[in-house]
Structure 1
Amino acid sequence: MSRSRFALSLSVLLFLAACTPYRSLDRRALPAQGLKEPLPRTYARWWRVFEDRELEHYLARVTGENFDLRIAKNRIEQAALELKKREAYRSPTLDLQAGVSGSSGSDGGWSHFSDSFSLGLRAGYEVDLWGRLGDLERAALHDVRRSGYDYQTMHVTLTADAVIQWYGLAAVTGLEGVLKRRLVLAKREREVLAERYRAGRTKLSDLLSQKIAVRQLEAEEASLASQRRLYESALAVLAGAEPGKFHITRPPGLPLRLPKEAPSVDSGVLLHRPDIRSALESLAAADRRAAAAVSAQYPRFDLSLSADTEGGDLASLFDRWYLSVAASLAAPLLDGGSRSAEADRALREREGALLRLKGLLVSAAAEVQDALAQVDSWSRSLKEAREQVVLEERRAAIYRQRYLHSTEDYRLYLSASTSLLRAREREIESRYGLLKAYVGLYRATATGWGDGESGRKESR
């Protein structure tokens, strides 16, 4: 071996030895299962505890027609195509080149013309010396998984919103029914007071107060009608339809069945939240991209193979052919610090992904605690509201019997009936509040509740 070749080989070996390997993220400090478990194929259909066929049909339409879900599904397809592109970068390339040229000239007054035909194949392959291409491919794979979890996150959010809007419409419809009965009683009391005022048996201020009460109830009726239209518009938008073209066959009612008690929630449940799984995949992708950015500062090793042939005409095209094989090692020397800056940026991006994951875990735990507190609070409120309804029903029944036996004034019976209707309004509001609290708990845990065991089976 000559001295020049020995010196070249020695310099290459020294240069490669100076390339510090990338220090990957220590995944032992992370929830490992978040990076290994596959995507579940189905979701916990927690809403089946309500036994509402109309709601199930509506949620099926939301899943198929909602624009946000369709956009999320489109992003999954984009990520899959990006992965396919990254996989192709690790394969050899083969190009076909063909050319034809013509030339003319003169020599001593004689003109001559010549044609030239060429045909060649070019093959190339980048040896993944530092794992850069493999890291970019693995980052693309994590992006595919992340986009899948993002779709699940959107599904969790939309189904929760849809159920809240659906039963919000049911609550408003129920309140409208109770308010109409209250308005009928208020108008009857206004008529009684008007008769008594004409007979000189009551004061004008009492009659005016009752007229004001009737006007207030009419304003509440208009407000509830406006809320009902807002709920109907929200349900239409969630189903991907224009509000004016979306119609519900029959108004929904509040479910009679609710979970008897809040399920126990441990910290492991949070790891199954799709947004946290998405954050884990984002962190893994950022880690691989950082590794690729560091590897981009090191030499690149390429292999190439070319086969060419040429001739003056098509018949002699394959008379002369050439075959060449080459290996090249390209090392960046001066780039203004762009590769180093890109590596630092990628490492900062990885650090940011880790911070986002930690913050998401903290906020998720707080969401679960808040949801459990809401369930407990609304459960007590509903229990008190139901007890109040029972008491008001007994009170109204007593005043009704006394009125029928002419031992009690009609106004007292109307007042007791109005109090009963108010108690039923509070019961409707408490039932809807408890339902929203349970839906909030589902959103915070992204798992089924009620029939928890079947929900876990469906989510596998």
Structure 2
Amino acid sequence: MVLSGLMQFSSPDCNRLSMTKVMTKLHLRLLPVVAVVFLAACASQQQPPQPPIEPPAEFTRTGQPVVPDSWWTSFDDEQLDSLVTRALEDNLGLRASYQRLRQARAVADRQRAGLFPSLDATAGAERQETDTTNTDTFSAGLSARYEVDLWGRVQSLSEAESLRASATLADYQAAAISLSGEIANTWFQLVEQRAQLALAESQLETNENVLTVIESRFAMGQNNSADVLRQRQLVSASRERLSNIEGEAGVLRHQLAVLLGQSPGQGVLPEDDTLPALPPLPETGVPAELVQRRPDLQQAWRVVQAADRDLAAAISNRFPRFSIEASINSQANDAGDLFDNWLATLAGNLLVPLVDGGERRAEVRRSEAVLGELVQEYGQAVLVAIREVEDALVREQQQRRRLRSLDEQSQLADTTYRQLRNQYLNGAVSYIDVLTALQDRQDLQRTILNTRQQLLTTRVALYRALAGSIESATPMENNEA
């Protein structure tokens, strides 16, 4: 049902009746209807959503240094710092994420415009020609429209889009953290492959030297041909390993180039083959701080709040709407007389929903279900975030123990190989014992390098799980109009 009040008055009327009196008469006409529906406004208010879980009091382990927003600087690796800085500026995926942020902000501004009156201006000129006369007609006017937000529907919709824009900003910051983590992991893998390449070259040289010794002893009849064949097989396997490492390093270089916003094979990457030392264990804080700090959790909660505002708007949509329209129009045959005669119109419209087949009520139920779904998803995201921190702490502790064990095994394997090699040269043991010891020693050397890289990757996972927003990840934010 639509109730409207309309008043028209020309310029002589305005001399006798002020705009205030016109509005007073209009409001008096609509006052009984507004008074009836005003009490229903309280029904559009609902309790704000509450998180579905209570985080634990503390994490199982913690350290001393505080994780900075630029967490990668904790590794004290200038090459890594340079790569992450370049990626945050040039990565195309992150740039696309920033454009999504601009879209969300524009949508929020567009929705916020509904809180203010709209004003349109019109102008026209028309000529009518007959056989005997020509008639010119000029017109001009202003029209304004404003919806009085009785139940907060327009305000709720505006707040929902603003919260979604905030969620998109948090999503952009989470993407920046994810990108920095990918850069760090790819860089550490590339450095490890370069170190593996240097180690493989050294092992190949060792195996070739041993082969020279075996062939010399075979020439003097002190070895059989099987010993020579076994060592040649080991040398061939060492050469194959070199080729495999070079191929893997090439793939990692291509991955890193794409993360930096470059075509694979173009650009210059740092030439470093030394893995950095593992920094001290950082301070993990408490889970409640993590929930407030992590951008992905902030994004999830902003989405929940936006859904709550959508629900408020759906509830408010079931109640009447009141809007005001005003216009001023003038028409004359001469442009100089355009505003000598004008007509002003003021109208108030009240839209009262009566029968809609349950459409608005169904929309309220749907909005409630959407809100409930997002609240549960937020709770799941919090649990996963806490688990990621705990998993990283457990894995790092386990890998530290493994690395210590591998170092001990490597020292023992080195001693065993040297002793067996001397005994073999003295004819006390067979060559197969020496070959086995040599392979064990070289396998342990490669495993230690890989474990050190995995330990760094685990620390990256911990930093990412603890990281807050990267403030420098929005380089264009201050330039927004």
From 327, 330, 333, give the equivalent of 1:309: 330
Alignment-derived partner of residue 53 in structure 1: 78
CA distance in 2, matches of 1:28, 1:283: 10
Cα shift at 1:309: 1.6
Cα contact 1:120–1:306 (8 A) shared by 2: yes
Alignment-derived partner of residue 24 in structure 2: none
Cα-to-partner distance string for 1:403-429 (whole Å, 9 max, x where unaligned): 9x9898996888766654443322212
Q: 1:429 to 1:94 in 2, by over 3 A?
A: same
Q: Is the partner of 1:301 in helix, strand or coil?
A: strand
CA distance in 1, matches of 2:196, 2:437: 18
Give matches, 1:182-201, under 5 Å.
182-201=203-222
Q: Is the partner of 1:245 in helix, strand or coil?
A: coil
Cα contact 2:164–2:302 (8 A) shared by 1: yes
Q: 1:137 to 1:239 in 2, by over 3 A?
A: same
Cα contact 2:208–2:235 (8 A) shared by 1: yes
From 453, 460, 479, give the equivalent of 1:432: 453
Give matches, 1:28-427, under 5 Å.
29=51, 44-103=69-128, 114-255=135-276, 257-261=277-281, 263-264=283-284, 266-271=286-291, 272-335=293-356, 337-394=358-415, 419-427=440-448
CA distance in 2, matches of 1:368, 1:215: 44
From 16, 19, 22, give the equivalent of 2:44: 22
**CA RMSD after TM alignment:** 3.3
Alignment-derived partner of residue 15 in structure 2: none
CA distance in 2, matches of 1:6, 1:318: 31
Q: Is the partner of 2:44 in helix, strand or coil?
A: coil
> Which structure 1 segments of 5+ residues have no match?
33-41, 449-460
Cα-to-partner distance string for 1:292-344 (whole Å, 9 max, x where unaligned): 12222322111122112222222332221122222111123454544444333
Q: 1:199 to 1:229 in 2, by over 3 A?
A: same
CA distance in 1, matches of 2:337, 2:119: 24
Q: 1:88 to 1:261 in 2, by over 3 A?
A: closer
Q: 1:152 to 1:31 in 2, by over 3 A?
A: farther
Cα shift at 1:61: 0.2
Alignment-derived partner of residue 37 in structure 1: none
Cα shift at 1:8: 7.8
Structure 2 counterpart of 1:297, one-letter code: R
Cα-to-partner distance string for 1:337-390 (whole Å, 9 max, x where unaligned): 444443333322222211210111122222222211110111101111223344
CA distance in 1, matches of 2:342, 2:73: 73
Cα shift at 1:280: 0.5
CA distance in 1, matches of 2:78, 2:229: 48
CA distance in 2, matches of 1:88, 1:52: 48
TM-score between both structures, scaled by the size of structure 2? 0.79
CA distance in 2, matches of 1:49, 1:7: 71
CA distance in 1, matches of 2:412, 2:73: 33
TM-score between both structures, scaled by the size of structure 1? 0.83
Cα contact 1:306–1:323 (8 A) shared by 2: yes
Q: Percent identity at matched positions?
A: 28
Structure 1 counterpart of 2:209, one-letter code: R
Q: Is the partner of 1:94 in helix, strand or coil?
A: strand
Q: Which moved more, 1:17-26 or 1:155-164?
A: 17-26
Cα shift at 1:63: 0.6
Cα shift at 1:6: 10
CA distance in 2, matches of 1:152, 1:179: 40
CA distance in 2, matches of 1:156, 1:260: 21
Cα-to-partner distance string for 1:56-115 (whole Å, 9 max, x where unaligned): 111110110111211122222222222222222211111112233445679xxxx66544
Structure 2 counterpart of 1:206, one-letter code: D
Q: 1:8 to 1:154 in 2, by over 3 A?
A: closer
CA distance in 2, matches of 1:30, 1:138: 23
Q: 1:139 to 1:84 in 2, by over 3 A?
A: same
Q: Which has the higher contact order (CA 8 A, sep 6+)?
A: 2
In the alignment of these two chains, the number of paired residues is 429
CA distance in 2, matches of 1:7, 1:322: 22
Structure 1 counterpart of 2:409, one-letter code: Q
CA distance in 2, matches of 1:353, 1:199: 80
CA distance in 1, matches of 2:33, 2:338: 43
Q: 1:342 to 1:102 in 2, by over 3 A?
A: farther
Q: 1:6 to 1:435 in 2, by over 3 A?
A: closer
Structure 2 counterpart of 1:278, one-letter code: Q
